[in-house]
Amino acid sequence: MQHILHLAPGDAIASGTQREIFRHPKDPEKLLKVFRDVPLTQGRTRLATMTEKYSPRIRTRWARKEYQEYLRLMLGPWSKPIASPISHMYGFVQTDLGLACVSDAVLEDGALGATLKSQIADGALSDPDLALLNDAIARLYHYDIRAGDMTARNFVFGHRQINGNRGDRECVLVDGFGDIHAIPIRSWGRFFNRFGLDDSCKRLAQKTGLTWNQTTRQFHR
């Protein structure tokens, strides 16, 4: 018999157009990303909402792509252990608010870590934080991660649990990985994906006010 986790709607710690984020009620080191109902997806185009209503598989396509990319990373021909720059994924669970994806939490002093977006908005992005962001970017390139939505709100600073112990402070891409584009050019090979990552980093620089160095593939102030 499958146990259903009970969540209070008001306990969500973050929300997006398609998912609400909760701390796992039985494991605070993990997060639950609960699929929202179609009527709750506000701030989207009418075409996107209507398409998802009549083609529900489109709503979950990005989730399938996300897991596909995570499996590709974990099963790839890399030296072990893998220093993953993206969230670790732990499958799905049923909650009384709907189906939820389980992933690891990136925490700072017991709370959810700050996003790159909030650090920029608050003028709090320190030189060590910028170095952690660049380390995450370097690992995205090293592991050839297909990341189709590298927004500032998807990069989070903090610690993760590693083998039962708190890991070093890092910057983690917690969402937006996987080749979600209609024409999956990034999946055609490493050469094409690097063009995609370059473009994503250029757009991230424009949104954050940072400078992107195409030669070194690093951000600067």
Interval 27-45: pLDDT, tens: 989 999 998 776 555 554 5
* pLDDT lower than 50: segments of the chain: 44, 47
Nearest Cα to Cα of residue 162 among 88, 112, 215, 216:
88
The answer to whether position 131 is within a domain reads yes
**Domain count along the chain:** 1
Q: What is the pTM of this model?
A: 0.88
- Give domain status of residue 2, yes or no: no
22 inside domain: yes
Decide if 3 is inside a domain: no
Where in the sequence is the domain holding 124, given as residue range(s)? 9-220
- Nearby residues of 144 by Cβ (< 8 Å), 6 or more positions away: 76, 190, 193, 194
Within a domain: 187: yes
State the CATH number of the domain containing residue 127. 1.10.510
141: left (phi over 0), alpha (psi -120 to 50) or beta: alpha
Looking at the domain assignment, is residue 1 inside a domain?
no
Summarize pLDDT for 123-155 with one digit per residue, the tens: 999 999 999 999 999 999 999 999 988 999 999
Evaluate whether residue 118 is within a structural domain: yes
In a domain, 4, yes or no: no
* Burial track 138-174 (b if 16+ CB lie within 10 A, e otherwise): ebbbebbbbbbebbbbbbbbbbbbeeeeeeeebbbbb
